[in-house]
């Protein structure tokens, strides 16, 4: 039904078959899926299970809507690069993804296999639509809180010290429950100082911390945490999201870049539901926004990310379009990740327009990967230009969005029809 396999069985797959008693397990393989709240859950699958089917199992057991509405997606780590992730394609088979991951690791180590390293799967949000927020489940909202906290800890979210303290206290209540100053039992008393240290390390940004003020911040967080006594997780999650979502780019994805030929060399490129924006690196204030309808071409251009936008002349009586070519220096794996994310958001915009005309609800397209790093866009239509250059050191698989470390495009081959 799902077609044949693309890759030979992985070491993990073979060991699973050899070690498991088929009479004791309904599915021959299982793998843990990690979540951003620090938990994980083991899910079963077989050789024919696709990423889409596997994700449906995760959604069903966790209480998450279908990926088309929740915007959640399955990611794998990279066998070589430490801080690199790959969004898996829904058509790929989970076993093929594992096999390709192991093969990339083996090539890196000159044929030797590293027994201590295994593929890590993470389930998190990739695309978020405000019109779908009303139907969010409690589990989705909880995981989104931890995802926003990750962005805060990485410096990808603008907030004041006061707001940081407030959000840290809310997460402390979500993570540990009520705080009791004097404790209700001896074991509780000993845990309180450790929990406060954990809250500081995991939920309070390092940019606000120093050795002289840490103790004072701990006391402030403790007082605010105690003030939340009796609040359940659902209430705290609601308050947290209400605060965080006041920022217009909350839920969007930020990419660090160097803006060439600009007075603001270091910037963030923000990809959100309605636009692509350039943000100041320090203040995170929006410098300029480009609606998707104005984007003509985007993608990798040699060693940079290129964005070509159109704008109408503001001179009265002169109705002509002009184009502007923007170049951003970025890490090459991030260029393709950014390109694919923009393409999927554009597809969302296109589907929203068609759905509005039909009066139906819109959905989020599944992530699509290509060896290309360039897209041509005209009236919300995306055309992929194939590029066959792939670095052997990159984890380029049919089961993931390939983050090509050597991909480049000849500008002469690009057209703006």
pLDDT value, residue 21: 65
pLDDT value, residue 361: 58
CB 171 within 8 A of CB 240: yes
What are the structural domains, with CATH classification, of the chain? 11-135 (3.10.20.90), 138-245 (1.20.80.10), 253-313+321-352 (2.30.29.30)
Phi and psi at residue 126, in whole multiples of 5°?
Answer: -120, -45
CA distance linking residue 27 with residue 368, whole number of Å:
28
pLDDT value, residue 382: 41
Q: Please list, in sequence order, all residues whose beta carbon lies within 8 angstroms of the beta carbon of residue 409, skipping any fewer than 6 positions away.
A: 299, 300, 301, 302, 372, 373, 374, 385, 387
Which of 410, 397, 341, 360 minimizes the C-alpha distance to 126?
341
Which of 101, 77, 118, 124 minimizes the C-alpha distance to 333?
77
Q: If DSSP states are collapsed to H, E and C, what string results for the chain?
A: CCCCCCCCCCHHHHHHHHHCCCCCCCCCEEEEEECCCCCEEEEEECCCCEHHHHHHHHHHHHCCCCHHHHCEEEEEECCCCCCCEEEECCCCEHHHHHHHHHHHHHHHCCCCCCCCCCCCEEEEECCCCHHHHHHCCHHHHHHHHHHHHHHHHCCCCCCCHHHHHHHHHHHHHHHHCCCCCCCCCHHHHHHHHHHHHHHHHHHCCHHHCCCCCHHHHHHHHHHHHHHCCCCCHHHHHHHHHHHHCCCCCCCCEEEEEEECCCCCCEEEEEECCCEEEEEECCCCCEEEEEEHHHEEEEEEECCEEEEEEEEECCCCCCCCEEEEEEEEECCHHHHHHHHHHHHHHHHHHHHHHHHHHHCCCCCCCCCCCCCCCEEEECCCCEEECCCCCCCCCCCCCCCECCCCCCCCCCHHHCCCC
Which of 365, 361, 359, 335 minimizes the C-alpha distance to 347?
365
pLDDT value, residue 2: 76
- Mean pLDDT in runs of 10 for the chain (417 residues)? 75 75 72 96 91 97 96 95 91 93 83 79 95 95 98 96 98 94 54 86 94 92 96 98 96 94 87 94 94 93 93 57 91 92 90 74 53 41 33 43 36 32
CB 51 within 8 A of CB 92: yes
Pairing of strands 121-125, 29-34: parallel
- Output the pTM of the full model: 0.84
CA distance linking residue 22 with residue 28, whole number of Å:
7
Longest dimension (CA), the chain: 80
């Amino acid at each position: 039904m799902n077609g044949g396999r693309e890759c030979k069985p992985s070491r993990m797959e073979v060991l699973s078959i050899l070690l498991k008693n088929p009479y004791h397990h309904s599915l021959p393989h299982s793998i843990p899926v990690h979540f951003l709240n620090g938990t994980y859950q083991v899910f079963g699958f077989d050789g024919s299970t696709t990423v889409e089917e596997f994700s449906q199992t995760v959604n069903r057991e966790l209480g998450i809507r279908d990926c088309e509405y929740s915007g959640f997606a399955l990611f794998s780590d990279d066998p070589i690069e430490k801080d690199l992730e790959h969004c898996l394609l829904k058509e790929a088979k989970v076993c093929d993804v594992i096999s390709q991951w192991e093969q990339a690791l083996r090539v890196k180590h000159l044929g030797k296999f590293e027994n201590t390293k295994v593929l890590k799967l993470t389930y998190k949000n990739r695309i978020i639509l405000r019109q779908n927020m009303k139907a969010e489940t409690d589990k989705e909202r909880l995981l989104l809180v931890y995802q926003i906290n990750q962005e805060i800890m990485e410096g990808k979210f603008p907030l004041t010290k006061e707001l940081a303290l407030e959000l840290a206290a809310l997460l402390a209540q979500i993570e540990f429950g009520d705080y009791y100053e004097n404790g209700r039992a001896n074991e509780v008393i000993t845990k309180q100082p450790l929990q406060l240290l954990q809250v500081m390390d995991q939920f309070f940004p390092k940019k606000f911390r120093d050795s002289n003020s840490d103790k004072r911040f701990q006391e402030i967080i403790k007082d605010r945490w105690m003030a939340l006594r009796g609040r359940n997780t659902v209430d705290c999650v609601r308050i947290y999201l209400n605060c965080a979502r006041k920022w217009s780019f909350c839920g969007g994805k930020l990419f660090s870049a160097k803006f060439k030929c600009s007075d603001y060399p270091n910037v963030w490129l923000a990809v959100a539901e309605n636009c692509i924006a350039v943000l100041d690196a320090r203040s995170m204030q929006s410098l300029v926004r480009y609606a998707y309808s104005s984007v003509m071409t985007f993608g990798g251009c040699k060693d940079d990310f290129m964005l070509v936008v159109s704008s109408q002349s503001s001179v009265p009586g002169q109705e002509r379009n002009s184009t502007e070519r923007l170049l951003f220096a970025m890490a090459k794996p991030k260029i393709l990740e950014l390109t694919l994310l923009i393409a999927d958001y554009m597809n969302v915009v296109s589907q929203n327009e068609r759905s509005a005309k039909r009066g139906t609800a819109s959905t989020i397209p599944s992530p699509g990967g290509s060896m290309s790093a360039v897209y041509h866009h005209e009236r919300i239509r995306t055309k992929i230009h194939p590029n066959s250059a792939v670095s052997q050191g990159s984890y380029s698989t049919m089961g993931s969005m390939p983050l090509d470390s050597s991909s480049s495009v000849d500008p002469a081959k690009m057209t703006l029809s």
